[in-house]
Amino acid sequence: MNRISVSYAPGKRSAYAEAMFPAIAPTYDFLTRWLTFTWADGWRRAAVHEARLRTGAQALDLATGTGEMALLLSLAAGPLGRVVGVDVSEAMLAEAREKIRGRSAPDSTGTRGISPAPGMAPIEFTRLDGESLPFEDGTFDAATLSLALRYFDVPTVLAEMRRVLKPGGRAVIVEFGEPESTVMRAGYHAYAHWMMPALGAAISRRRDVWRLLRFLPNSIHHHHTPEELVALFRQAGFEEAACRRLTLGIGLVFSGTAP
């Protein structure tokens, strides 16, 4: 693939992701689990808990990738619920659809999407820009975004999440943070900035993976601080805006309630 320059500017990060992810889509789940010591799985489960879904709920997962968060939302919403996963990368969505089909019964595809298993909500995966959603106001009970905030303009995506949520609906975002301890932060920086990209590239045998994994920790410094992001939740109109720190601060779960 052609070399793509990395940009942290709003409006350009999404294009970078769309161009990069086709190269790593087949190994994305393995790399995410292996390189985060499976911590990301626990962070997503914590996010679903914060979403406070009831049986029959409708949930939206932005930047759904290979559908890991969508699967957890599907389990929480139950067979009467509905989950929509959106992403700009068709390659990642193809991986998500294949994953769900691999878990589902032969006759499990219906008008509301693919049912991963009995007792779970159907999931519909579709290619959409999370900053410009076609859904009507007040459609969903929860909207989530997992490990992908760096690809969005934060005020814009928060406004869209707020718009499509029902009153009382929950917006939940999972992101990487940094350890609060100075000693832990030094070790984390060494791993995240150098060891993780090198290991990921060696495992996948792709230079693209090294570049993407270098982009991820560097992009943290272009994020808002946790306190700033909580303030942006409030500015977008959310109530109960909060940040929960997990795994010594390496994982962050932000949440807010639509009034």
pLDDT digits (tens, 9 = 90+) for 118-134: 889 999 999 999 999 99
Question: CA–CA separation, 141 vs 256, rounded Å?
Answer: 12
Percent of the chain at pLDDT above 90? 58
95: confidence class by pLDDT, cuts 50, 70, 90: very high
Q: 8 in a domain, yes or no?
A: no
pLDDT in tens, 12-35: 455 656 666 776 777 777 777 776
- With a cut of 90, say whether residue 1 has pLDDT above it: no
- With a cut of 80, say whether residue 159 has pLDDT above it: yes
Q: 242 in a domain, yes or no?
A: yes
CATH number of the domain within which 190 lies: 3.40.50.150
Question: CA–CA separation, 155 vs 161, rounded Å?
Answer: 10
- pTM across the whole model: 0.86
Q: 1 in a domain, yes or no?
A: no
- With a cut of 60, say whether residue 110 has pLDDT above it: no
Contact of 179 with 91, CB cutoff 8 Å:
no
pLDDT score, position 106: 46
Q: 33 in a domain, yes or no?
A: yes
| Domain extent at residue 80 | 13-257
Q: What is the mean pLDDT of residues 90-100?
A: 93
Question: CA–CA separation, 156 vs 176, rounded Å?
Answer: 20
- With a cut of 70, say whether residue 102 has pLDDT above it: yes
Q: Which amino acid is at 162?
A: R
Contacts 24+ apart (CB under 8 A), 35-38: 35/196, 35/199, 35/200, 35/213
Top pLDDT among 102 and 18 is at 102
Question: CA–CA separation, 200 vs 183, rounded Å?
Answer: 24
109: confidence class by pLDDT, cuts 50, 70, 90: low
> Picking from 35-49, 66-80, 190-204, 205-219, which range would have the lowest pLDDT averaged per residue?
205-219
pLDDT score, position 194: 74
Q: Where are the alpha helices (DSSP H) in the chain?
A: 13-24, 28-35, 39-51, 68-77, 90-103, 154-164, 182-190, 196-204, 207-220, 226-235
User: Position of tokens 């999440």?
Assistant: 161
- 3-state SS assignment for residue 156: helix
Number of other residues whose CB lies within 10 A of the CB of residue 248: 15
pLDDT score, position 197: 76
The count of domains in the chain is 1
pLDDT score, position 120: 94
Q: 171 in a domain, yes or no?
A: yes
Question: CA–CA separation, 231 vs 80, rounded Å?
Answer: 35
Number of other residues whose CB lies within 10 A of the CB of residue 231: 13
Contact of 44 with 246, CB cutoff 8 Å:
no
39: confidence class by pLDDT, cuts 50, 70, 90: very high
pLDDT score, position 4: 41
Q: 40 in a domain, yes or no?
A: yes
**What one-character DSSP code corresponds to residue 205?**
T
